[in-house]
Structure 1
């Protein structure tokens, strides 16, 4: 077992002339809840897709659990994308059957229990569900696995503020505590209370990688306040990379 769960060395990714990540060096340990923070175009989604194996690096190396990205690492990663990708005719139970067949670490009974706690009827078809309920179903699929790395791309963006704490509680109480959760988000104030550490990306480079406790002790401010300070001169706009 590798000392660090995630290791990046001089990792870069370009889309033609557009550089999404540039020379990223990063080490992330186990049993951590990590916030991946940055404005649109900073490289958050690109990094997540590289970790999933959905993209290939332009240069540099990337390892999960001491292994280069490939079939072995994909079996250890549970990924929540920022948009629904299942057919509307399917029921939640159809998806649970699919995941049980596809992933050895998927816990069907745990998925049903999470549906009960989230107020989701698992035999309803996706087309009859609200956008927020569909996103809860996706969250159940991801968190019902005993993965080494959970990659959550904007997991609370599509739910109303009242439901956000419930979603975060679901994440906190259902992930494999030997694994790590990496959460990409814009809603820093809502999520920083559950974070152990943060990675801040700006224009494809790491501006900050620190524990939340260290930020509060050394900077004397919240993660949200520090983030606003780092980006106060930069408008929060751009493409999704």
Structure 2
């Protein structure tokens, strides 16, 4: 059986004609998208544009109504979930655990967990390992969630609104940590955010979603050159 860590798929994610329909909502409407290895990709769009649904699909948590998706060269299944790190927007941490207990608990689920890396990031994020999660500020909880995602040695990292509702200091620390820990030769990060101005320097490529469709997909450099302005200004022009 092929090892997903050593598989030489240049395309980490391939989506063709993807639709996702719920009872009352058509979340994705014909997504064609190829995500290559070694990129940090910004997934941008207003609320309801399909960002979270798309990330969950890449993570193997939801399945398309129609169309095809390949992650690391195969259709998403239980095995793929072991090779994708997914940070949801919702707070999924147990408040009664300490910071160290939380990381130890999460590490039990994954054979690719990197203990030394987790300890290093814990220090960099200035988190007290003995503090209860329920006593952490929202920004500190966001840092802890990010440590949990980045401590895994996986080819695909999916981050859903990691800056949501947190202070500028925590946002800056999180951005520095992502750039510091990004393994550009073997990893891809797809990051959904509304904090375009601060996160813009991270992005190699940018996807603008609108009403479940890809409105724009290009390199950040090409977009800034074409529009003659920052990604934040492009956001304002696209979504008006």
Match of 1:68, SS? coil
Correspondence 1:175 to 2:182: yes
Q: Residues of 2 paired with 1:133 and 1:16: CA distance?
A: 37
Deviations, residues 139-188 of structure 1 (Å, cap 9, x unaligned): 11011111111100111123211232211010111133211010000111
Matching residue of 2:76: 69
1:210 CA drift (Å): 0.3
Q: Which of 189, 204, 229 is the equivalent residue of 1:221?
A: 229
After the TM superposition, list the runs of 4 or more consecutive aligned residues in structure 1 that deviate by more than 6 angstroms: none
* Structure 2 residue aligned with 1:15: 22
Please tell me whether residue 25 in structure 1 is matched to residue 36 in structure 2: no
- Deviation of 1:95 after TM superposition, in Å, equals 2.1
Aligned equivalent of 1:185:
193
Q: Give me the whole-angstrom Cα distance separating, in 2, the residues matched to 1:4 and 1:179.
A: 11
Q: Which deviates more from structure 2 when the two are superposed, residues 27-36 or residues 127-136?
A: 127-136
What is aligned with 2:10? 3
Which SS does the other structure have where 1:67 is aligned? coil
Offset, 1:17:
3.6
Aligned match for 2:214, one of 198, 203, 206: 206
Q: Please tell me whether the aligned partners of residues 146 and 176 of structure 1 are also in contact (alpha carbons under 8 angstroms).
A: no
The 5-angstrom pairing of residues 82-101 of structure 1 reads: 82-101=89-108
**d(CA) in 1 for partners of 2:224 and 2:143?**
32
**Take 1:163 and 1:55, find their aligned partners in 2: how far apart are those partners?**
30
> Is residue 150 of structure 2 the alignment partner of residue 143 of structure 1?
yes
- Separation of aligned partners in 1, 2:14 and 2:215: 17
Q: Which moved more, 1:178-187 or 1:108-117?
A: 108-117
SS in 1 for 2:108: helix
- Of 123, 134, 144, the match for 2:130: 123
* RMSD over equivalenced CA pairs, Å: 1.1
> Cα distance, 1:138 vs. partner?
0.7
Stretches of structure 2 that go unaligned for 5 or more consecutive residues are 1-7
Equivalent residue for 2:46, pick from 36, 39, 46: 39
- 1:42-99 Cα deviation digits (max 9, x unpaired): 0000001111111111111111111100122111111111121122111122222223
For residues 181-211 of structure 1, what are the alpha-carbon distances to aligned partners after superposition, in whole Å with 9 as ceiling and x for unaligned? 1000011111111110100000000000000
Gaps spanning 5+ residues in structure 1: where? 233-241
